[in-house]
Each structure stands twice: as C-alpha cells, then as structure tokens.
Amino acid sequence: MHLSKSIFGLILLVSALLVVGSTGPARAGMGGPDDFGYVWIDSDEPGGPTYSWVDITNRGSQLYMSDDDNEPIPMSFTFRFYDNSFSGDLRVCSNGWVSFTSTSTAYYNYGLPSSDAPENLLAAFWDDLNPATGGQIWWFGNSDSLIVSWINVPHYYQTGANTFQIILTADDGIHYQFNSLSDPLNECTIGIQNDNQTIGLQIAYDETYVHNQLAVDILLPPVMLFCDNLSPQFCQGKKFYFLVTVNNRTGGNISGTLTFSGYASYGCDPANLLVAMGRNKTYPAGTTQEYYMLKVPNSATPGQYSAAIGGSLSGNDVYCCMNADIIDCVPWRMGDNSEWELVQADRPEAALPMVTELHQNYPNPFNATTSISFDLAEAGNVSLKVYDISGRLVVTLVDGQTEAGEHVVSWDASNLSSGVYFYKLTSGDYTANKSMNLLK
C-alpha cells in the first residue's frame, strides 16, 4: 500500500549563513555547506541562477515508466559526486529522483542525510509520483549535459500534474528546474546525498518551499582535492603510486602547503602517523592532475596502511585519504628502500601492464644463463617453474605473492645438459607455457 507524506563569492557567503527553517514567514534562497562542502542557491536569491526551462521532448527519448519504477539511462561523460567519479548509467526513479548507483524505487521521502534514503541521491522532487496514470518522463544526453524531465506527472492518488527537470553538466554541475507544480507541495524532499548516506545537502523536506518557474543550483566548493589510489596493494619496500586532482574554480592561481602523510593503519588515523612531508604548491584555474610515488622503506612491515594529502590552498582547506595493503612478496622482488621519499612523476607507473602475459626468454637459444620476463596486471600468488623434456620439475623460480608490474627472472642452467626445457607461469586463472633451448 502506498503512503503519501502530508561561484566563489556566493559559496563564502553561504558558508556564513544559518539555513532558515520552515517556521518563519520567509524561506531562505541559499544554504549549506554540507560536511563535504556542497552549497545551494536558487533563482529567488540575488546572484542565483536564472530559470530557463530546457524542452527536450523534440530531441530526447521517452522513458515508459510504471508506478515505482527505476530505469537506467547512459551518461556520455564522467561526473564527480562527493568522493567518487561516475560514468556509465544514471538510474532514474519515477518518484522524482535519480542516482548514480541505486536501483531502489523509494516513494516515501526522508530528510537528508538518511540511511533510509537511496545512496548517491539527487532528489529534485522526491514524492510519491505515478507516471502510469498520466504525464511523461523524458531524457536527453550528449557530451556536455544529461537532462531528465518529468512532464505533467501526477501524485500517486492522481492529483495534480508536476513538471520539473534535473540537469547534470560535464563540469560536475547539478541543476534543478521547476516549471509547474501542484499541491501538495509540502510533502517532498529536495537535495542530494552521498554514497554511504552520511552526508547530505537538504534544500527542503516536507515544507512549503518550491514553486513554479524556480531554478536551483547545487555548487561544489571553489577548491577541491581528490586522490586516487593506483596501488591498493604493493610489495614491502616498493612504491605507492597515486593520482592527485585539484579542481580550482576560483578563476585565479591558488597556493599553499600540502602535507603528504603515511599511517600504519586504515583511515589515516593521526595516532598511527609514520611520516609527514610538506610541499609548497601552486595551482592555476581549472583542473590539474599530478602523479606521485611514495617510496616505502623495508621497515614498513606487511599490513594495513593509509596515506593522506591535506592542507590549505589560498585559504581553502582540502583533504583526502587512501587505504592500501603492503604485502610480503617473494624475496627476489624485495625493495631496497631505506627511508621514506615522495617523488612527483610525469605520468602514472609505466610498469603496470593491462594484462598478465608470459614472454619468450632471452636469449634463446642460450648458453648457461637466460632471462624470463612476465607481466602481471594485478598482484597475486605467482608460480614460475622450469621442466625438462620429460616433464620433471627442474627448478622453481618464483613461488609466492608478487606485485603487479613487469618482472624479469634470471636462470642459471650451467649445471644442466643441453636440450629443450619448458617454463610455466601460473597466476590466478592465467596459465602459460613456453619452450627454450639450452646449447652448450
């Protein structure tokens, strides 16, 4: 049974305001930030967005949705939302909301944030709506934007008709537009919520706020820092690779000190700090990406670790944390690092192959010594063994946990007779064999 419930200067200004509740005669036209930094401003507020309805019915595609339905539509760009990047499909729910991941059909709305609300939520007019009894839902997308429009969709009890839309833009912009709405208007949720349902920006919840020909923009902070872990698992004494992305929306250069820290635990717990290294940084307007490698000494024994980047860039606080596992690999892959070192690279680790592959030994034929190389797309247990022509095991060259990357193993066969030998690589589901000729 259904239930019906009865750029920069603006952000600095919003951060200093208390969001006005629904008890007073006037309703604030801006609010936030949430714990991540998102703020919102509407077209009633000076300096807010301009309402301009985008009609997509003559160029988009219709979604033929039933009551409490959820359907995927494709996105042609990657969208940053809270701590994550999303590409592929956007999920559209008939009840006035979309999500990057949730297949829920939730019609009963909640205040945000809420563990009862869908994850990765963008709620424009979350209420119990039913397109099966009237109205239409359309979508249109290209490389610049993705638009979903609810057109004359009634409430579940077949009352009224509601026309509104969600517009996502490739620069990570979130825009809600309300063309025409009908009572009840005080039974919906408008806002956003993150992936683990702990952070949300609530614009309205069961209150009289929204009205016809209203636009709402949800804005990111002027400066944001993201870190992407390129080495979630690596061998003791080796290098931890990561990507740092800085989004600078201030329109000018930003400068400050960033501290790169390592911790002997998940979650970047200050109580488990191992090392902290400061770097003076300047970033231009727009998006900047930098690759780094943190050389980890052998004294960092196998276990759970984390790394953080944090600081202030022209008065804008930034922070991110990454978890990683250091593993005990076979002895010949041990590193020789004696101290922590942070190095900025021009590109990501070149030694991370896309596929696991065993290569032909070199030289071949060989006299006494040869090298066998193989690529690992991901870390795992690896076995590399050599057999004679009768199938008897001659030597085990590798047997144990091995990090991702390109590997070379030398084999000295000076104590063996000339002939054909075979070598076999096993890693997870991958197995490959090759032959080689020893000539003396």
**Residue corresponding to tokens 């009237």:** 134
Task: Check pLDDT > 80 for residue 25.
Answer: no
CA nearest neighbour of 312 among 282, 270, 277, 291: 282
Specify whether 285 is located in the same domain as 427: no
Specify whether 291 is located in the same domain as 386: no
Per the CB < 8 A criterion, the answer to whether 168 and 97 are in contact is: no
Q: For residue 249, give the 3-state DSSP assignment.
A: coil
Please state the rounded mean pLDDT for residues 329-338. 57
Please state the rounded mean pLDDT for residues 283-304. 90
Task: Check pLDDT > 70 for residue 352.
Answer: no
The DSSP secondary structure of 398-422, one letter per residue, reads: EEEEE-SEEEEEEEE-TTS-SEEEE
Task: Check pLDDT > 50 for residue 21.
Answer: no
Asked, for residue 1, whether it belongs to a domain, the answer is no
Strand partners, 313: 256, 316
Task: Check pLDDT > 50 for residue 19.
Answer: no
Asked, for residue 77, whether it belongs to a domain, the answer is yes
Domain count within the chain: 3
Q: How far out from the chain centre does Cα 109 lie?
A: 26
Write down which residue in 321, 345, 369 finishes a domain: 345
pLDDT of residue 2: 38
When pLDDT is cut at 50, 70 and 90, the band that residue 336 belongs to is: low
Please state the rounded mean pLDDT for residues 78-101. 95
Asked, for residue 312, whether it belongs to a domain, the answer is yes
Task: Check pLDDT > 80 for residue 315.
Answer: yes
Specify whether 422 is located in the same domain as 402: yes
Specify whether 177 is located in the same domain as 257: no
As a whole number of angstroms, the distance between CA 223 and CA 249 comes to 6
Lowest mean pLDDT, pick from 3-7, 311-315, 419-423: 3-7
pLDDT digits (tens, 9 = 90+) for 172-206: 999 999 999 999 999 999 999 999 999 999 999 99
pLDDT digits (tens, 9 = 90+) for 149-168: 999 999 998 788 999 999 99
Query: What's the CATH number where 298 sits?
Result: 2.60.40.10
pLDDT of residue 387: 97
pLDDT digits (tens, 9 = 90+) for 259-271: 999 999 999 999 9
Q: Write the Ramachandran bin of 12: left for phi over 0, alpha for psi from -120 to 50, otherwise beta.
A: alpha
Write down which residue in 157, 192, 219 finishes a domain: 219
Please state the rounded mean pLDDT for residues 23-33. 67
pLDDT of residue 106: 97
Q: Which amino acid is at 239?
A: K
Specify whether 159 is located in the same domain as 24: yes
Specify whether 234 is located in the same domain as 265: yes
Write down which residue in 193, 219, 245 finishes a domain: 219
Q: For residue 13, give the 3-state DSSP assignment.
A: helix
Print burial letters for 325-343: b (CB count within 10 Å at least 16), e (below 16): ebbebbeebebebeebebe
Asked, for residue 273, whether it belongs to a domain, the answer is yes
Specify whether 187 is located in the same domain as 297: no
79-82 contact pairs (CB < 8 A, 24+): 79/168, 79/170, 79/172, 80/172, 80/220, 80/226, 80/247, 81/120, 81/172, 81/192, 81/194, 82/36, 82/120, 82/194, 82/195, 82/199
Q: Which amino acid is at 168?
A: L
- Higher-scoring residue by pLDDT: 32, 151: 151
- Higher-scoring residue by pLDDT: 334, 419: 419
Domain residue limits at 238: 223-345
Please state the rounded mean pLDDT for residues 60-79. 97
pTM recorded for the entire structure: 0.58
Specify whether 177 is located in the same domain as 239: no
Specify whether 297 is located in the same domain as 364: no
Asked, for residue 13, whether it belongs to a domain, the answer is yes
> Tokens standing for 213?
């020909």
- Higher-scoring residue by pLDDT: 356, 99: 99
Specify whether 114 is located in the same domain as 140: yes
pLDDT of residue 269: 96
CA nearest neighbour of 49 among 168, 219, 244: 219
Q: Which amino acid is at 232?
A: P
> Tokens standing for 33?
């930030």
Beta carbons within 10 angstroms of residue 196's beta carbon = 12
Asked, for residue 3, whether it belongs to a domain, the answer is no
Asked, for residue 256, whether it belongs to a domain, the answer is yes
Asked, for residue 397, whether it belongs to a domain, the answer is yes
Please state the rounded mean pLDDT for residues 381-391. 95
Strand partners, 122: 98, 192
Specify whether 161 is located in the same domain as 94: yes
Please state the rounded mean pLDDT for residues 292-309. 90
Specify whether 146 is located in the same domain as 36: yes
With a pLDDT cut of 90, the percent of the chain lying above it is 68
